Structure 1
Amino acid sequence: MFSHLYAAYVFIYVCLALISLGIILLFLMKISHNKELRRREFYELKHQDYFKYLQAHLGEEGRLQLPPGKLKPLERRVIQDKFMEWIELFRGEYRNRLIQLCRDAGFVEEDLKALNSLVYGRRLRAAYRLGGMRAGEAVPALLQMLRKGKYSSLSIVVARSIAKSAQTSGDVHEMLRCLLAHGKPIHHLAADIMLETGLDAGSILTELLDDPDPALVKVGLVAMWGQAVPEVMPVLGRLVGSEEKDVRAEAVKLYLSSNPALKDETIVKLMNDHDWEVRAEAAKALGPLHAAGSIPLLVKALQDPSWKVRHNSAGSLAALGEAGFEALCQAAVSGTGIQREAAIQRIEQVMEMEQKHSAIEQMVAYNKKRLIHNRYFGVKQPVKRMTGVAAVGGDYSA
């Protein structure tokens, strides 16, 4: 019994010792962190004159002067961080001069050596800094690092550094292949990383859309959102007929969002696609495109098995003026099942929303739709309220 009690006491004391040690370590780490912050502030203040010199002479010809004096490791890191901050802010010749200054100061060479370190954390920090300095000579080593490593949030740091430092479009392609090789659904993230490159985005997008790998094509399609690249429009039209479901759906979204002059056969083809995502995007686009000739197709789509297609079709009909709204009312009166349900739901939403408008044009449009609505569903008589009379049950004839 005493041996068990003694063991319990020993266990408790060991736990208390470990907890105390952990608390002490946390305090030491906090003290060290605060000390480093103070030293960074000191070094930034110490080199204020040098930073002002750089800002004043960035636009001049000739080499920029290196940081003065013999610098301590943390002091060099503070100056390097300031250079990287400016590289992100500046473009053109200013950025090129700062990148060259990083090479002249030996920062690029130091981090290239750090890529061979046995400590992964040190290699990762070096990869981040090399990307910040747009060190093109580091791309082969960074690609090798990305190929060997398992996918994690740290892979994103390496991939972004490759995109920033890439010297050719092939570097960007290889980075994307390595990143997508793990089969993760990160096409939007990959597109965001790809757009970090300083190379011509238009030519890279064209190459991605022509690539035989569907994953790279999808990255290109995602990256096109918000990008004005007229030269890729012919390729986009071809991808609308792609056999890959995801590629075709993304291409249709982009194609329709560019407000093209759709031919009747193209509209019919999209509205009869075997994937509901494509039909839904086509139905959604026909309203904003003011494709009044597609009203029969949209009315037919109110019977689509997909709720999203029915919802978008009803929304486009409501957006096609009086003719579209009347088609909705006809479907609500003469249709059956899901067609009638989709039409009635949209009609109720339209009548509820449009009566809240105060602009003259909107009020006129609402009144026209109200007349059409009354013609199909009749006029609802308002309930008259009697005021000042209290009705009490009972027979008062006596």
Structure 2
Amino acid sequence: MFSNMELAYGFIYVCSGLIAAGIILLFTMKLRHQAEQKQMEAFKEKHRDYFIYLQSHLHDDVQLALPQGRLEPLERRVVEDKLIQWIERLKGESRSKLVSLCQEAGFVEAEKRMLSSLFPGKRVEAAYRLGGMRAAEAVPEMLELLQTMRYGPESIIVARAIAKSADQYEFIRAMLKQLLASGKPVQHLAADMLLETRLESAGLLRRLLQEEELGILKAALAAMWGQAVPAVVPALGRLAFNGQEDVRAEAVKLYLASNPVLKDDTISQLMSDKEWEVRAVTAKALGRIHAAGSIPLLQAALADDSWHVRHNSAESLSLLGEQGFEALCQAALGAGAAREIALSRIEQVMGSERSTQAVDQIVAFNKIKLVYESYFGISSKKAAVQMAGVGGDYSA
């Protein structure tokens, strides 16, 4: 009995001791952090004039001076962080001058040595800072570090640092292959990294689009959204017509978004493609680029096996003026899937009159309403009231 009680009391004493030690440790860490923050603020104030000097001469044709005197470790960190902050914000010659200053001050070399640290956190932190300083000379070491890491937040930090720092295409390609080797769906993440590279965008994307590896192609295509790169249109055309099945639909979408001059044979080839994604993307684009000559193809596509193709074809026909709308009306008089999708789109178009405000839109709407009446007439009071809202009552 006493032995059990003594064991219980002993366990309580040990737990109490551990809790007290933990509280003391946390309190000590908090005090140390506060002291460090206070010291960093003091260093920021100490170098305030130096930072003002840098800002004043960033755009001048002069070589920036190094910080005066020997810097303590925490002091070096304060100056380095400020330079990284500016490098992230600036572009062009101003960024290049700050990158050179980091090299001359020894910040890059110090962080390179930390890539060999025994502590994984120190290695990742060093890679992050090297990326911030656009340290091209540290890219081979960061690639070696990336190869030893499993996919996760830390490997993403290192990969992004490589993308920011690399000055050769081969390094970007090696980083992408290592990142994609995880088997995770990281194409959009990789595309975001490509937007931060210091390499010339058009040349980089053109070379990536010539790769055979599917993951790299997907990352390059994702990186193209939101930016116009005319130099890569030929490469997009190659992928659109002769590329791998998994990337053709995306390539076609980007190719058509570049507003190329499309021949009738080209449109016909895309609209008869065996992949429904390609047909759907093409059908949607034809209305946007106002390819009136494609109306027969779009009308035929209203009976496509894919709902997406039928829907996009009906939408594009409604954007192609009176001729396109008339093709919808003709399909609505037929049967099957074409009739169903045509009627659905016609209902949406005719129900959009209340949102029409501009004069040219009112005129265009009245024209298609006349086409509607020639096929379906006005069979209800509701239709007469709707037509009276724009351009008068046509029921007489």
How high is the TM-score relative to the length of structure 1? 0.88
Aligned AA for 1:156?
I
Aligned AA for 2:80?
Q
Q: Secondary structure at the match of 1:77?
A: helix
Q: Secondary structure at the match of 2:352?
A: helix
Partner of residue 240, structure 1: 240
Partner of residue 93, structure 1: 93
Partner of residue 43, structure 1: 43
The separation in 2 between residues aligned to 1:36 and 1:283, in whole angstroms, is 62
* Contact 1:302/1:313 (8 A) holds in 2: yes
The separation in 2 between residues aligned to 1:315 and 1:2, in whole angstroms, is 86
The 3 A distance-change label for structure 1 pair 25 and 297 is: farther
Partner of residue 350, structure 2: 351
Q: Secondary structure at the match of 1:304?
A: coil
Partner of residue 339, structure 1: 338
Aligned AA for 1:320?
L
The separation in 2 between residues aligned to 1:279 and 1:264, in whole angstroms, is 15
TM-superposed CA distance for 1:138, in Å, is 0.5
Q: Which moved more, 1:258-267 or 1:49-58?
A: 49-58
The separation in 1 between residues aligned to 2:310 and 2:7, in whole angstroms, is 72
TM-superposed CA distance for 1:149, in Å, is 1.0
TM-superposed CA distance for 1:2, in Å, is 8.1
User: 5+ residue gaps in structure 2?
Assistant: 383-396
Aligned AA for 1:377?
F
1:114 aligns with 2:106: no
Q: Secondary structure at the match of 1:197?
A: coil
Q: Secondary structure at the match of 2:232?
A: helix
1:285 aligns with 2:279: no
1:56 aligns with 2:42: no
Q: Which moved more, 1:11-20 or 1:368-377?
A: 11-20
The 3 A distance-change label for structure 1 pair 277 and 7 is: farther
TM-superposed CA distance for 1:19, in Å, is 5.7
Aligned AA for 2:338?
Q
Q: Deviations over 1:45-70 (max 9, x none)?
A: 12101111222233455543322233
TM-superposed CA distance for 1:10, in Å, is 6.6
Aligned AA for 1:341?
E
TM-superposed CA distance for 1:108, in Å, is 1.0
* Contact 1:355/1:363 (8 A) holds in 2: no
Partner of residue 219, structure 2: 219
The 3 A distance-change label for structure 1 pair 16 and 346 is: farther
TM-superposed CA distance for 1:124, in Å, is 0.4
The 3 A distance-change label for structure 1 pair 22 and 361 is: farther
Matched ranges for 1:2-17 at <5 A: none
TM-superposed CA distance for 1:145, in Å, is 1.0
* Contact 1:355/1:366 (8 A) holds in 2: no
The separation in 2 between residues aligned to 1:355 and 1:376, in whole angstroms, is 22
Q: Which moved more, 1:85-94 or 1:279-288?
A: 85-94
TM-superposed CA distance for 1:226, in Å, is 3.1
The 3 A distance-change label for structure 1 pair 61 and 381 is: closer
Q: Which moved more, 1:55-64 or 1:138-147?
A: 55-64
Q: Which moved more, 1:49-58 or 1:34-43?
A: 34-43
How high is the TM-score relative to the length of structure 2? 0.88
The separation in 1 between residues aligned to 2:158 and 2:237, in whole angstroms, is 34
1:146 aligns with 2:139: no
The separation in 2 between residues aligned to 1:62 and 1:13, in whole angstroms, is 68
Aligned AA for 2:317?
L
Aligned AA for 1:304?
D
Aligned AA for 2:368?
K
Partner of residue 369, structure 1: 368
Q: Which moved more, 1:281-290 or 1:37-46?
A: 37-46
The separation in 2 between residues aligned to 1:343 and 1:290, in whole angstroms, is 19
The separation in 1 between residues aligned to 2:113 and 2:179, in whole angstroms, is 24
* Contact 1:354/1:362 (8 A) holds in 2: no
Q: Secondary structure at the match of 1:68?
A: coil
Aligned AA for 1:371?
L
The separation in 2 between residues aligned to 1:101 and 1:268, in whole angstroms, is 58
The separation in 2 between residues aligned to 1:371 and 1:255, in whole angstroms, is 36
The 3 A distance-change label for structure 1 pair 4 and 256 is: farther
* Contact 2:233/2:258 (8 A) holds in 1: no
Partner of residue 164, structure 1: 164
Q: Secondary structure at the match of 1:300?
A: helix
The 3 A distance-change label for structure 1 pair 371 and 160 is: same
Partner of residue 386, structure 2: none
Q: Which moved more, 1:64-73 or 1:74-83?
A: 64-73
User: 5+ residue gaps in structure 1?
Assistant: 384-398
Partner of residue 255, structure 1: 255
The 3 A distance-change label for structure 1 pair 8 and 349 is: farther
TM-superposed CA distance for 1:256, in Å, is 0.7
The 3 A distance-change label for structure 1 pair 2 and 376 is: farther
The separation in 2 between residues aligned to 1:193 and 1:317, in whole angstroms, is 39
The separation in 2 between residues aligned to 1:197 and 1:279, in whole angstroms, is 34
Partner of residue 130, structure 2: 130
Aligned AA for 1:299?
Q
The 3 A distance-change label for structure 1 pair 14 and 258 is: same
The separation in 2 between residues aligned to 1:15 and 1:332, in whole angstroms, is 80
* Contact 1:333/1:340 (8 A) holds in 2: yes
TM-superposed CA distance for 1:239, in Å, is 1.0
TM-superposed CA distance for 1:130, in Å, is 0.8
Q: Secondary structure at the match of 1:303?
A: coil
TM-superposed CA distance for 1:286, in Å, is 0.6
Matched ranges for 1:261-280 at <5 A: 261-280=261-280
Q: Which moved more, 1:318-327 or 1:180-189?
A: 180-189
Aligned AA for 1:358?
Q
The separation in 2 between residues aligned to 1:184 and 1:164, in whole angstroms, is 22
Partner of residue 73, structure 2: 73
Q: Which moved more, 1:195-204 or 1:78-87?
A: 195-204
What RMSD over aligned residues (CA atoms) do the two structures have, in Å? 2.4
Q: Secondary structure at the match of 1:233?
A: helix
TM-superposed CA distance for 1:17, in Å, is 6.0
